[in-house]
């Protein structure tokens, strides 16, 4: 089995089509509750100071492949997680912790998808993901509106974490915020912990926040 570091080992990069390019696909069933990605020390966390050192070509590439975290820094994954595409019905989401979890059972051959509405995107984009609930336009403002829905899915998925295989167990450390044996904290830290919002001249973050249920 080929492993791509801190992304689930039962995944591979596949060319999807010429328009979208590459995507991350499951090579075996991945059950709901599986931790599919964890932040590790090789992932680049780039703040403003560091980004200012890049020339325009490098900066453009970094912006394309990175996401903005709750502190306004860019996370550039060194593993193929950076190729994960958007779906308005994403099967992988991140609670307010530096990891991602399968929120549904993912079938062998199915594409793993994130919701870019949770990535503090700087500009809206048109979506034709094909999901029944496709929003057509994915925008920065989706975050607060959809957070309760994402939190609810994560609440159910993380309750299963203890009962499914966790091949990324080795990479989990205290900083990822799990309690013992894949037990997630209750209440689960809300996705809103990743919220970064630029207001006027300055920037403020809404996180960290906690889910209530
Ligand atoms: Zn869509």
85 CA to centre of ligand 1 in angstroms: 11
pLDDT the model gives residue 191: 97
Is the CB of residue 26 less than 8 Å from the CB of residue 109? yes
Tell me, in angstroms, the distance from the centre of ligand 1 to residue 131's CA: 6
The pLDDT assigned to 5 comes to 60
Question: Ligand 1 center to residue 83 CA distance, Å?
Answer: 17
Q: How far is the CA of 125 from the centre of ligand 1 (A)?
A: 10
| N-to-C CA span, the chain | 39
According to DSSP, the residues that pair with 119 across neighbouring strands are none
Q: Is residue 210 scored above 50 in pLDDT?
A: no
Tell me how far apart the alpha carbons of residues 184 and 16 are, in angstroms, rounded to a whole number: 34
What is the distance in A from the centroid of ligand 1 to the CA of 191?
A: 19
Residue 95: closest CA among 172, 158, 165, 166: 158
Cα(38) to centroid(ligand 1), Å: 25
Query: How far apart are the CA of 126 and the centre of ligand 1, in A?
Result: 8
User: What b-and-e string marks burial along 46-70, b requiring 16 or more CB atoms within 10 Å of the CB?
Assistant: beeeeeeeeeeeeeeebeeebbbbb
Q: Ligand 1 centroid to 54 CA: how many Å?
A: 32
Phi–psi pair at 75, nearest 5 degrees: -100, 120
Q: How far is the CA of 130 from the centre of ligand 1 (A)?
A: 6
Instruction: Find the mean pLDDT for residues 184-200.
Output: 88
Q: What is the pLDDT of residues 55-99, one digit of tens each?
A: 999 999 999 899 999 999 999 998 888 899 999 999 999 999 999
CA 74 to chain CA centroid, nearest Å? 13
pTM score: 0.88
Over residues 118-130, the mean pLDDT reads 94
Q: How far is the CA of 15 from the centre of ligand 1 (A)?
A: 19
How far apart are the CA of 153 and the centre of ligand 1, in A? 18
CA of 201 to the centre of ligand 1 (A): 31
């Amino acid at each position: 089995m080929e492993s791509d570091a801190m992304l689930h080992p039962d995944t591979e990069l596949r060319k999807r089509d010429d328009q979208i390019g590459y995507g991350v696909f499951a090579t075996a069933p991945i059950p709901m509750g599986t931790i599919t990605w964890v932040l590790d020390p090789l992932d680049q966390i780039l703040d403003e100071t560091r980004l200012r050192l890049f020339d325009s070509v490098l900066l453009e590439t970094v912006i394309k492949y990175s996401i903005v975290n709750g502190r306004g820094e860019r996370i550039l994954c060194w593993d193929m997680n950076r190729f994960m595409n958007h779906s308005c019905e994403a099967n992988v989401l991140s609670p307010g912790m530096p990891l991602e979890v399968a929120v549904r059972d993912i079938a062998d051959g199915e594409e793993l998808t994130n919701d870019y509405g949770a990535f503090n995107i700087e500009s809206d984009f048109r979506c034709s993901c094909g999901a029944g609930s496709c929003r057509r336009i994915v925008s920065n403002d989706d975050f607060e509106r959809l957070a309760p829905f994402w939190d609810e899915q994560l609440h159910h998925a993380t309750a299963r974490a203890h009962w499914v295989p966790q091949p990324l167990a080795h990479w989990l450390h205290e900083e990822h915020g799990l309690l013992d044996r894949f037990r997630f904290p209750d209440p689960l830290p809300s996705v809103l912990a990743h919220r970064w919002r630029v207001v006027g001249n300055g920037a403020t973050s809404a996180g960290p926040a906690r889910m209530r249920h």
